[in-house]
Amino acid sequence: MGDADRGDKSPGNSLTASDKADFKRELTGVVPHLRAFARGLCGRPDMADDLVQETMLKAWAAQDRFEPGTSMRAWTFVILRNAYLTDMRRNRFRGEYDEGVAERILTAPAGQEEPIHLSDLHRALLTLPAERREALLLVGAGGFSYEEAAQICGCAVGTIKSRVGRARAALSEMLASGNIPQRSTDDDIAHSAILEELDMVAAGNGVSSRP
């Protein structure tokens, strides 16, 4: 007695070749999404791709912890965001902006004088604090529910809702006013320019009413 389990596939810690093949197929399927999420988070395509490759290696190494039948996209996004936040703390990413999208322009809806450039949107996105940016990306671009996004970020649903709300408000404000910092390298300048302007408005000297 006692050796009855010997030949059984034991789910959990040992993986058969077909488990690995399944895992690899699913991982391959989410790579484009990992790239899109990473690009939104860190702006620079080359850094984003590095981040995705790091994520793929980590996911592969941890594949025995993936539960088949659950969302590979959500599972790998957790790995990616953790890698991103770790790199952020090491100051590897400074929310740099992808020149490649500068050419693309959003079609202006009827009655809208000024089209919004995708490049403006992307730059505005990169000025948001990381946790608001990722919340908005997950819900607004990745199509995750608030509940799924909360699981990915390891926080309460209410927290995600509030981050998304603040991110939306900040982007709307920036896009409506046109006050979007130009480049990461100019961030400080742009930022202090905005603050100066606010100071003047607060002091009753709106920009347009200056003599």
- 53-71 burial by CB neighbour count: b if 16+ within 10 A, else e? ebbbeebeeebeebeeeeb
Q: Is 101 in the site for other proteins (CB under 8 A)?
A: yes
Element (H, E) at 140: none
Choosing from 3, 13, 67, 91, the residue that interacts with other proteins (CB under 8 A) is 13
Measured CA to CA, the distance from residue 45 to residue 98 in angstroms comes to 7
Q: Is 77 in the site for other proteins (CB under 8 A)?
A: no
Which sign, positive or negative, has the C-alpha torsion 194, 195, 198, 200?
negative
Q: Is 176 in the site for other proteins (CB under 8 A)?
A: yes
Q: Is 173 in the site for other proteins (CB under 8 A)?
A: yes
Q: Is 130 in the site for other proteins (CB under 8 A)?
A: no
DSSP 83-103: HHHHHHHTT-------GGGGG
Choosing from 1, 4, 5, 14, the residue that interacts with other proteins (CB under 8 A) is 14
Q: Is 125 in the site for other proteins (CB under 8 A)?
A: yes
Cα end-to-end distance, the chain, whole Å: 95
How far apart are CB 183 and other proteins at their closest, in Å?
18
Query: What six digits make up the tokens of 140?
Result: 């607004």
Q: Quick one: 141 or 156, whose CB is closer to other proteins?
A: 141
Chain positions contacting other proteins, by CB under 8 A: 13-17, 19-20, 24, 27-28, 31-33, 35-37, 39-40, 49, 52-53, 56-57, 60-65, 101, 104, 106, 109, 112, 116, 118, 121-122, 125, 136-137, 140-143, 168-169, 171-173, 175-177
